[in-house]
Amino acid sequence: MRRASGIGSSLVPTFSRLSADGPVRDGIPDHGRVPRYYAVKVELLTVIAELGEGSALPTERELCERFEVSRATVRQAVSELVLEGRLSRRQGSGTYVAAPKLVQPLALVSYTEGLRRQGIRPGRTLITLERRAAGPALAVDLQIDQSAEVIHLERVLHADDERVGLESTYLRADQFPTLPEAFDPEQSLYAYLRDELGVVFDGAEERVETVLATPREALLIGTNPALPMLLMHRVSWGPDGKPFERVRSLFRGDRLSFVTRLGRTEQEITER
């Protein structure tokens, strides 16, 4: 790979990947002056593509010499790529090219189904399985009394043995009284509800936001507390319109992304 000439001596690099029709253009301010770390980051994207998944990134010293910049500049560029999930750090070993992000559909399919469609083996580790009072927030979401019992199922989510998330599911205990004793927590909950109990998922409302994990959550997922996480809230209901499930799923932002397919409604088509 050719050197990014001029990175160390000018804020405006000369390589062609900064063309207006390229994906990097979005990062350039209107005045056209590109920070050194960003120019290095752009070059590192090409290095990553050339090295391939699982390959070790050159050392900081090698990158400094290659791009004629300081260690601080290289560290900032690498840190951003780690946050974006392009690179991964292994303590005591170095920095490596990360695997592509997992894609989870925003649809009425389970975590298990979403991964299996990508040829990835899903897994779960049980953390909590308990009965508890709903409390104010759950009572509102599930349309039950605050004192009513709910079943709380908390599990660490795996993808090919890699921890990628933490899921907490709350179900109405009056609707699923035997679930704690009959359900295998290592299996898909949605498949169990559908196939064993005949539950029909008629609709759901989801909200996704970015957060930082709590110390407990970061420990369970095995991630750095400073890394951004994707938090998904879901309330599901059956054909009668009554909610029976609330889910709080926390996913590693560096390992997972969401996708959905949008289309116009019949009303919008008619209005055209």
Q: Give me the CATH number covering residue 175.
A: 3.40.1410.10
**249 & 127 share domain:** yes
**93 & 143 share domain:** no
Quote the number of domains for the chain.
Answer: 2
pTM of the predicted protein model: 0.64
Q: For residue 80, give the CATH number of its domain.
A: 1.10.10.10
Range of the domain at 133: 102-259
Last residue of a domain, which of 97, 115, 136?
97
- Single out the residue of 86, 87, 70 nearest to residue 35, CA to CA: 70
**172 & 251 share domain:** yes
What is the per-residue pLDDT across 137-196, written as a single tens digit (0 to 9) for each? 899 999 999 999 999 999 999 988 889 999 999 999 999 999 999 999 989 998 899 999
What is the per-residue pLDDT across 192-208, written as a single tens digit (0 to 9) for each? 999 999 999 898 888 88
**78 & 132 share domain:** no
Residue 270, pLDDT > 70, answer no
**40 & 133 share domain:** no
Last residue of a domain, which of 97, 115, 133?
97
**155 & 69 share domain:** no
Within a domain: residue 191?
yes
Last residue of a domain, which of 81, 97, 113?
97
Within a domain: residue 8?
no
Q: Which 3 state secondary structure label does DSSP give 29?
A: coil
**167 & 49 share domain:** no
Q: Band the pLDDT of 83: cuts 50, 70, 90.
A: confident
**121 & 144 share domain:** yes
CA distances to 130, 132, 138, 255 from 163, in Å: 22, 27, 27, 10
